[in-house]
């Protein structure tokens, strides 16, 4: 069940980009942290990205793989060798281990990304049998249970919309689909059906960063038409709605808070909004956007005053003292604001201009986040035709 492959002999290569400029709209000094010919990026906003010692995980094609780590303060970039392999997966922030899901081979691999004798040496942990359905979507924080997602749908007939055509958007949301979440214990070999639903499917299946028995997911639906966000135990018990919704209350882009006893999300109250059918996109809604936080019982414990803009994603710093956002069409900036649970007003300040073209319903791939020390706002932006990782210092 377990096999160790021959370790890589390639050294970890370090470099510093050193490029910077004054932002044309904010006056802030923007640093370009990575300069790879085909581009680089930090991963999706709600995915773990921090390594011990203050480094961050990023991706970009280089001569022997696509893994790299960044130290935001110094600008040092380490190109991690992986014998030419292209890795993806989930990072465990506690020790810097990246779990790699190789669905086609039905294998779980890992690569350690921190200093030490094993850095950059991928190894296989386990394999799983052919009768485990679906594709791997996450792994629990203890590294013992793989989460699989099985979806029945036809995206060729119902493609993900990328325009402001309202018919295409509703065609996508009304597509036939069914979904199942499975949990496979790699130590015992047992597989458990966690959740099944018909006429709709699950999405954003994320294991708790602290509780190996708990996961969070959302339902792949129009956000204001039903209960979107849920938590559930791996044995299928204790299904809980997170922030109970009335019809017209739009809850979306949920994420684990820095304290994993809480879940953050964006909120719009579109009850009574006559434009909801013809203008369903949250980014073009006439209603204000708020930051909401709920506890694990599902009770809302915080709702901000209206924000100054809709943000494709809202996220938080590790200590919860900062929040960030990504502006949208005609308001393309990386934003940041100081945050306190005792203050309802959140002053999102534009920190850097985003030059990546905006795609309705899909955003810009900005993926704003913070360095572990809360000193730098980290984001993706297009530089000379390629997306690269950039940073701007917080006030």
| Res 1: pLDDT | 35
Q: Is the pLDDT of residue 4 over 60?
A: no
Tell me which of 186 and 10 has the higher pLDDT. Answer: 186
Cα(74)–Cα(54) distance, integer angstroms: 11
Cα(391)–Cα(223) distance, integer angstroms: 32
What's the average model confidence in pLDDT over 102-109? 92
What's the average model confidence in pLDDT over 56-80? 93
Sign of torsion, CA 348 308 305 368?
Answer: negative
| Res 250: pLDDT | 98
What's the average model confidence in pLDDT over 134-148? 97
DSSP 106: T
Closest among 382, 343, 389 to 78, alpha carbons compared: 389
Average pLDDT of the residues of the chain: 93
Buried b (16+ CB within 10 A) or exposed e, 29-63: ebbbbbbbeebbbbbebbbbbbbeeebbbbbbebe
Q: For residue range 249-259, what is the model confidence (pLDDT) as tens digits?
A: 999 999 999 99
The residues near 320 (Cβ < 8 Å, ≥ 6 apart) are: 257, 258, 259, 339, 341
**Contact predicate 123/117, CB 8 Å:** no
Three-class SS of residue 254? strand
Cα(135)–Cα(122) distance, integer angstroms: 21
| Res 11: pLDDT | 64
pTM of the model: 0.94
Q: Is the pLDDT of residue 87 over 90?
A: no
Tell me the domain boundaries of the chain.
13-81+304-395, 88-245
Q: For residue range 314-340, what is the model confidence (pLDDT) as tens digits?
A: 999 999 999 999 989 889 999 999 999
- Mean pLDDT is lowest, of 33-42, 74-83, 293-302, for 74-83
- Mean pLDDT is lowest, of 46-55, 85-94, 261-270, for 85-94
Q: Mark out the alpha helices in 223-318 (DSSP H runs).
A: none
Closest among 203, 23, 207, 216 to 99, alpha carbons compared: 207
Residue 83: which pLDDT band, with cuts at 50, 70 and 90?
Answer: low
| Res 5: pLDDT | 36
Within a 10 A sphere around the Cβ of 385, how many other Cβ atoms? 6
Residue 84: which pLDDT band, with cuts at 50, 70 and 90?
Answer: low
**What is the chain's percent helix, strand, coil content, to nearest 5?**
5, 45, 55
Strand partners, 390: 32, 379
**Contact predicate 304/357, CB 8 Å:** no
Give the tokens for residue 121: 């040496």
| Res 122: pLDDT | 86
What is the end-to-end Cα distance of the chain in Å, rounded? 51
| Res 3: pLDDT | 35
DSSP 313: -
Tokens 């995915």 correspond to 47
Fold for 88-245, please state it: Methylamine Dehydrogenase; Chain H (2.130.10)
Buried b (16+ CB within 10 A) or exposed e, 239-270: ebbbbebeeebbbbbbbbbbeeebbbbbbbbb
% of the chain surpassing 90 pLDDT = 86
- Mean pLDDT is lowest, of 10-24, 134-148, 199-213, for 10-24
Q: Is the pLDDT of residue 357 over 60?
A: yes
| Res 363: pLDDT | 86
Q: Is the pLDDT of residue 71 over 70?
A: yes
For residue 83, CA distances in Å to 11, 40, 58, 88, 103 come to 11, 19, 17, 14, 19
**Contact predicate 293/313, CB 8 Å:** no
Q: For residue range 269-315, what is the model confidence (pLDDT) as tens digits?
A: 999 999 999 999 999 999 999 999 999 999 999 999 999 999 989 99
């Amino acid at each position: 069940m377990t096999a160790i492959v021959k370790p890589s002999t390639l050294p970890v290569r370090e470099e510093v980009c050193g490029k910077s400029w004054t932002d044309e709209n904010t006056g802030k000094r923007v640093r370009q942290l990575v300069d790879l010919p085909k581009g680089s990026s930090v991963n999706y906003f709600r995915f773990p990205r921090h390594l011990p010692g203050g480094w961050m995980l990023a991706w970009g094609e280089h001569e022997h793989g696509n893994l790299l780590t960044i130290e935001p303060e110094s600008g040092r970039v380490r190109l991690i060798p992986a014998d030419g392999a292209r890795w993806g997966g989930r990072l465990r922030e506690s020790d810097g281990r990246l779990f790699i899901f190789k669905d086609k081979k039905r294998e779980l691999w890992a690569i350690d990304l921190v200093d030490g004798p094993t850095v950059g040496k991928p190894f296989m942990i386990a394999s799983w049998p052919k009768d485990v359905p679906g594709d791997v979507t996450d792994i629990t924080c203890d590294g013992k249970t793989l989460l699989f997602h099985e979806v029945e749908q036809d995206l060729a007939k119902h493609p993900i919309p990328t325009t402001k055509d309202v018919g295409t958007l509703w065609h996508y949301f009304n597509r036939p689909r069914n979904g199942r979440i499975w949990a496979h214990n790699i130590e015992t070999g047992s597989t458990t059906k966690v959740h099944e639903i018909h006429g709709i499917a699950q999405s954003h299946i994320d294991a708790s960063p602290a509780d190996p028995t708990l996961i969070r997911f959302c339902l792949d639906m129009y956000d204001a038409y039903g209960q979107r966000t849920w938590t559930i135990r791996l044995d299928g018990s204790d299904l809980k709605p997170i922030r109970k919704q009335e019809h017209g209350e739009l809850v979306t882009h949920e994420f684990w808070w820095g304290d994993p006893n809480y879940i953050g999300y964006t909120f719009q109250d579109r009850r009574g909004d006559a434009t909801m059918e013809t203008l369903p996109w949250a980014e073009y809604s006439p209603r204000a956007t708020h930051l909401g936080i709920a506890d694990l019982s599902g009770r809302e414990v915080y709702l901000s005053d209206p924000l100054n803009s809709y943000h494709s994603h809202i996220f938080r710093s590790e200590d919860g003292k900062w929040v960030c956002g990504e502006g949208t069409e005609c308001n393309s900036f990386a934003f940041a604001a100081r945050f306190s649970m005792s203050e309802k007003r959140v002053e999102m300040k534009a920190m850097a201009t985003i030059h990546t073209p905006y795609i309705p319903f899909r955003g810009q791939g900005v993926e704003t986040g913070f360095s572990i020390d809360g000193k730098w706002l980290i984001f993706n932006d297009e530089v000379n035709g390629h997306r690269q990782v950039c940073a701007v210092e917080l006030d």
